[in-house]
């Protein structure tokens, strides 16, 4: 069984640095969310933006899953689109459509209107939530801060919201590369400042989410995206905290994605973990990579069998952080999450 003594450094942080741990650490993307009844209760009385803007609510939601499950890390409750909102865009969450940003950025005039915000002023509520969580977080547990990667956030800003094909974004890349590069540079600077402020407030690691990177060809990623992701990762890495780089749908160019940097590279469920680790290099830690759909239905033994196979592919090598290949789905039964967390700890400690 895993040791009950509090480690000198959280197990999660040790794994980020590829150090041997008593058990494989586990946390789950979107572990704070709609699948938890206590989250839904708060959501009945506050909008998503109100939850983000009220530090005590954001901290409470961040900590909720750690009260239920023996997770090794909390991830700050916030939204990747708070940064473009701080830059001057209007952000709304429209039922049936998702987030909507207005006006979309499609010209130099619109780009010039964007502010380069000071996160202590425009995003101070996020930093306050970080401080509250760090005060209340149990010993041995780590706090992860995060931001959207430049491409994913820029695509929202150009499209005005989610997209099936990112045609307007790709049209800008190829049709007006100087405008695209200016947008990506402005956004990268804002993201660096935001993550730096989170670390200064107490975040012990940060994750850069590139959720839509799988919509790109390998060549477009290298030419139009990787330089800016690398800039953010390089700058934040100088702060001395682990940086996790995560994308989805990028198995075909995971090696190129990993070349942008990061102490830990996330893998989605579309590639076996050992193959992904070979692509990113054994000298890096890896995070992943259970299919989140498996947690929603079917027998629990199937979930645990899939988790066992992932642990076997990790081979007991230091530097594996167990996670899903993307976020927890709203229909996930909480008891499935508990079974998974307990199994990963027990099985990996044997």
User: What pLDDT is recorded for position 68?
Assistant: 97
Q: Is the pLDDT of residue 7 over 90?
A: no
Q: How confident is the model at residue 350 (pLDDT cuts 50, 70, 90)?
A: confident
Summarize pLDDT for 93-112 with one digit per residue, the tens.
988 778 999 999 999 999 99
Summarize pLDDT for 147-188 with one digit per residue, the tens.
999 999 999 999 999 999 999 999 999 999 999 999 999 999
Report CA torsion sign: 40, 42, 48, 51. Answer: negative
Mean pLDDT value of segment 201-224:
97
User: What pLDDT is recorded for position 196?
Assistant: 98
User: What pLDDT is recorded for position 95?
Assistant: 81
Query: What is the length of the chain?
Result: 350
Q: Is the pLDDT of residue 6 over 70?
A: no
Taking a C-beta distance cutoff of 8 angstroms, is the pair 314, 275 a contact? no
Q: What is the mean pLDDT of the chain?
A: 96
Summarize pLDDT for 35-83 with one digit per residue, the tens.
999 999 999 999 999 999 999 999 999 999 999 999 999 999 999 999 9
Q: How confident is the model at residue 298 (pLDDT cuts 50, 70, 90)?
A: confident
User: What pLDDT is recorded for position 94?
Assistant: 85
Q: Is the pLDDT of residue 86 over 50?
A: yes
Q: Which residues are catalytic, by number?
A: 30, 34, 43, 79, 156
Q: Is the pLDDT of residue 2 over 50?
A: no
User: What pLDDT is recorded for position 5?
Assistant: 43
Give the whole-angstrom CA distance, residue 299 versus residue 30. 22
Q: Is the pLDDT of residue 194 over 90?
A: yes
Q: Is the pLDDT of residue 8 over 70?
A: no
- Helical segments of the chain, H only: 11-16, 37-43, 48-53, 55-68, 82-86, 108-113, 119-122, 124-136, 150-159, 167-175, 177-201, 218-220, 226-237, 254-258, 273-280, 300-314, 334-349
Q: Residue 148 is inside which H or E element, if any?
A: strand 142-148
Mean pLDDT value of segment 216-234:
98
User: pTM of the prediction?
Assistant: 0.95
All domains in the chain, ordered by first residue: 11-349 (3.20.20.210)
């Amino acid at each position: 069984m895993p040791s009950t003594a509090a480690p000198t450094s959280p197990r999660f942080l040790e794994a980020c640095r590829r150090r041997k741990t008593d058990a494989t650490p586990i946390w789950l993307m979107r572990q704070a969310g709609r699948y938890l009844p206590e989250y839904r209760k708060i959501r009945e009385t506050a909008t998503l933006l109100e939850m983000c803007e009220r530090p005590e609510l954001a901290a409470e939601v961040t900590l909720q899953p750690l009260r239920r499950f023996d997770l090794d890390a909390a991830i700050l409750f916030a939204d990747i689109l708070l940064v473009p909102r701080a830059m001057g865009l209007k952000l709304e969450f429209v039922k049936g459509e998702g987030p909507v940003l207005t006006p979309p950025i499609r010209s130099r005039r619109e780009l010039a209107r964007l502010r380069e915000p000071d996160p202590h002023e425009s995003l101070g509520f996020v930093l306050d939530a970080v401080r509250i969580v760090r005060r209340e977080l149990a010993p041995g547990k780590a706090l992860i801060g995060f931001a959207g990667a430049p491409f994913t956030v820029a695509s929202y800003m150009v499209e005005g919201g989610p997209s099936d094909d990112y045609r307007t974004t790709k049209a800008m890349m190829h049709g007006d590369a100087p405008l695209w590069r200016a947008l990506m540079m402005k956004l990268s600077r804002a993201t660096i400042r935001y993550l730096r402020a989170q670390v200064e407030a107490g975040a012990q690691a940060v994750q850069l989410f590139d959720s839509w990177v799988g919509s790109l060809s390998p060549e477009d990623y290298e030419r139009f995206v990787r330089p800016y992701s690398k800039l953010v990762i390089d700058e934040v890495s100088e702060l001395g905290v682990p940086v996790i780089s995560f994308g989805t749908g990028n198995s075909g160019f995971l090696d190129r994605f990993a070349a942008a940097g990061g102490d830990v590279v996330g893998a989605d469920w579309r590639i076996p973990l050992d193959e992904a680790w070979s692509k990113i290099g054994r000298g890096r830690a890896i995070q992943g990579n259970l299919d989140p759909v498996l947690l929603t239905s079917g027998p629990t033994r199937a979930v645990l069998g899939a988790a066992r196979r992932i642990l076997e592919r990790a081979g007991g090598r230091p530097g594996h952080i167990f996670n899903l290949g993307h976020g927890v789905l709203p229909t996930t039964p909480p008891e499935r999450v508990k079974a998974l967390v307990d199994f990963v700890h027990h099985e990996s400690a044997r």
